[in-house]
Amino acid sequence: MASPTQPVTIADEGQRLRRLTRFLFAIIWVVPATLASLQMTFVGDASGTHYHLGTALLWQGSAWLLWSLWSQLILSLVARVQLDTARLLPWIAVHVGATALVCTANVLAIAWLDHTFGAIGQVTSYAWALRLVVVNNLDFQVVLYWAVLGVAYMVEFVRRYRERDRAATELEQKLARTTLEALRMQLNPHFLFNALNSVAELMEMDVREAQRTLVRVSDLLRLSLRSAAQSLIPVWQEIELVELYLQIARVRYGVGLEADISVDPSVVDANIPSFLLQPLVENALKHGLAPGHPDQCIEVRLQRQGNSMEIVVEDNGKGLDGLLTTSGRFLAAIPSVDGLGIGLTNTRSRLAMLYGDRYAFRMSNLPSGGCRVEIRLPLEER
Structural domain contains residue 2: no
Q: The pTM is what?
A: 0.50
Structural domain contains residue 299: yes
In the prediction, which pLDDT does 181 show?
55
Number of domains the chain contains: 2
- Could you list the residue range(s) of the whole structural domain that residue 14 is in? 10-170
- DSSP codes joined into one string, 42-75: HT--TT-----HHHHHHHHHHHHHHHHHHHHHHH
Structural domain contains residue 166: yes
The H or E element that residue 20 is part of is: helix 10-27
Taking the C-alpha atoms of residue 188 and residue 185, their distance in angstroms, rounded to an integer, is: 6
Amino acid identity at 45: D
Beta strands in the chain (DSSP E): 232-234, 257-263, 271-273, 296-305, 308-315, 325-328, 360-365, 371-378
In the prediction, which pLDDT does 302 show?
95
In this structure, what CATH number is given to the domain that contains residue 234? 3.30.565.10
Structural domain contains residue 188: no
Q: Are 24 and 165 contained in the same domain?
A: yes
Q: Are 166 and 240 contained in the same domain?
A: no
Query: For residue 180, how many other CB atoms are within 10 A of its CB?
Result: 17
Structural domain contains residue 277: yes
Q: Are 216 and 161 contained in the same domain?
A: no
- DSSP codes joined into one string, 294-337: SSEEEEEEEEEETTEEEEEEEE-SS--SS--EEEESTT-S----
Q: Taking the chain (382 residues) in consecutive chunks of 10 residues, what is each chunk's mean pLDDT?
A: 50 73 86 86 72 82 87 86 76 88 89 74 70 84 90 83 73 57 52 70 76 79 67 87 81 76 92 84 76 80 92 84 47 40 72 82 83 88 54
Query: For residue 23, how many other CB atoms are within 10 A of its CB?
Result: 10
Q: Are 146 and 230 contained in the same domain?
A: no
